Amino acid sequence: MGVSAASPQPSRRAGGAATLVASALSNQLGAATGSLAFPVMGPVGVVAVRQLVAAIVLLPLVRPRLRELGWSQWWPILLLAVSFGAMNLGLYASIQRIGLGLAVTLEFLGPLAVALTSSRRKGSALCAVAAAAGVIAITQPQASMDFTGIGLGLIAACSWAAYILLNRTVGRRVQGIQGTAAATGVSATLFLPVAVVIFMSQPVDGFSVLCAVGAGILASVLPYVADLIALRRVPAHLFGVLMSINPVFAALIGAVALHEELAVGQWAGIGLIVAANAAVLLLGRHVKPRGSHKEKSHDAGG
């Protein structure tokens, strides 16, 4: 499935930008919806259902030719599956402890780190300093801070960075998005026993299951499809910049829907990290990317 992003017309670019904004909103609404099931299923149960939903939808659509894959293709797919699961599990466990806005913002340090390490622009150092200041602002180091939650958010960030790099490798070795679909299936298989244990060991009500399934649809299926559509309409660098709106939506949805309260300094920290992420992508917009646009679409993660 090729993805073309060559010189889109203004109307197409506007449509693509709107699609990306809708994708970000859906992603964070999905995370918020999934968090409603935490009291019954916990983050592990919600992530297990989310992975299963993503696989159930994606595998029939893509139909990856698994029997044709060799070991040189399978090993990055397997690592991609592990990083995919770790990314979502780290994020949702972090959301449970420190809230949606802060957890998602910390997770975005992953793609920011990848962008910074691949940038050769002098201004990238300033972006790194701004991001570091943002981390200090949102964590507000003190004895009462939940450092476990912060650590889980950073694990999600590292997993997302690994996911991006592995996806580039998979994209070079496996045709189209078959590699990503295969990794989704492997990740779902790894989480299947977890889901079975959770459903058999404790009573699970229909509302919690519905919330977990909703998280899978809103935070996995819809954003993935929207991102593929959008990348046909917007340049790759604009795609990345618009994705930076995710932490803002996460903080707003967390405040409005989940009644999470953030201090003024934490809002400022979120703004710094979002600005740093957007700036480093804009600084690197004239640098020829190492991967194809198709690979860029996979970097969305989350």
User: SS3 letters for 162-186?
Assistant: HHHHHHHHHHHHCCCCHHHHHHHHH
Residue 161 CA to residue 249 CA, distance in Å, equals: 21
Percent of the chain's residues with pLDDT above 90: 58
Report the pLDDT averaged over residues 74-89: 96
Per-residue tokens: 156: 């999600």
Q: Is 245 helix (H, G, I), strand (E, B) or coil?
A: coil
Query: Band of the pLDDT at 199, cuts 50, 70, 90?
Result: confident
> What sections of the chain are H helices per DSSP?
10-35, 38-62, 71-98, 100-107, 109-118, 123-139, 147-173, 178-201, 206-216, 222-231, 236-243, 246-256, 264-283, 293-298
> What does the pLDDT look like over 92-144, one tens digit per residue?
999 999 999 999 999 999 999 988 887 777 788 889 999 999 998 988 776 56
Per the domain annotation, does 3 fall within a domain? Answer: no
pLDDT winner (highest mean) among 36-45, 57-66, 234-243 = 36-45
Q: What is the DSSP letter of 258?
A: S
| 238 assigned to some structural domain | yes
Give per-residue pLDDT as tens, 278-295. 888 888 765 544 444 444
Is 2 a domain residue? no
- Mean pLDDT over all residues of the chain? 87
Q: Is residue 1 part of a domain?
A: no
4 in any annotated domain: no
The total number of structural domains that make up the chain: 1
**Predicted confidence band at 192 (pLDDT cuts at 50, 70, 90)?**
very high
pLDDT score of 300: 57
> Residues 103, 149: contact at Cβ < 8 Å?
yes
Has residue 54 been placed in a domain?
yes
Quick one: pLDDT at residue 260?
A: 94
Residue 248 belongs to a domain: yes
Give the domain range for residue 38: 10-298
| Higher pLDDT, residue 76 or 122 | 76
Question: Each residue of 213-256: pLDDT tens digit?
Answer: 999 999 999 998 888 888 778 887 778 888 889 999 999 999 99
Determine the average pLDDT of the residues in 44-73.
Answer: 93
Pairwise CA distance, residues 267 & 87, whole Å:
23
Res 294: pLDDT: 42
User: What number is the average pLDDT over the span 174-196?
Assistant: 92
